[in-house]
Amino acid sequence: MLQLEIPSLDEKILSSYAIWLCLTCETCVTRCPKDVNLPEIMDYLRSESVRQGKVNPKAKDILAFHNAFLDSIKATGRLYEVGLIAGYKMRTMHLLQDVDSAPTLYFNGKLKLFPHMIKNREAISRMFSKAKDWQEGQK
């Protein structure tokens, strides 16, 4: 659909649910005989979908997870699982979903109550700021 360069198809692509299902595992890239970087294309399409306000309603939980993940990285410099979970649950209001697995994860050392803060979080903040400035320059 992208190769046809038909504006009505572009609209259909940006509002599709399919672009949100790619996990960016890069398996397709390693197997593609033409070296097409599909995950990079999917990232671009998702970014444009958000920028243009055309996110498929079925993708709202995926986008909520993505934003909670980025917020966790921005705040601590690395992934803080409890913060990720809290951010996701507040965005989606799936407050009790999977709550029964939390004690097991905690007692197995998979969930830490407090985040590990990296040194020089200002550098992370600058990276996020530069990415935002770059994205705004693309509009």
What average pLDDT does the chain have? 91
Largest CA distance in the chain: 54
Domain regions of the chain by residue span:
1-55, 57-121
CA angle 17, 45, 83 (to 5 degrees): 75
Under 8 Å CB-to-CB from 105, ≥6 apart: which residues?
Answer: 111
Q: Which helix (H) or strand (E) holds 67?
A: helix 60-76
Query: What is the distance between the alpha carbons of residues 2 and 39, in angstroms, rounded to a whole number?
Result: 14
Position 70 scores a pLDDT of 93
pTM of the model: 0.78
Query: What is the distance between the alpha carbons of residues 28 and 26, in angstroms, rounded to a whole number?
Result: 5
- Give the tens place of pLDDT for each residue, 63-103: 999 999 999 999 999 999 999 999 999 999 999 999 899 89
- Token look-up 């197995």 returns 108
Position 139 scores a pLDDT of 61
Q: Look at residues 52, 47, 50, 90 and name the one whose alpha carbon lies nearest to residue 68.
A: 90
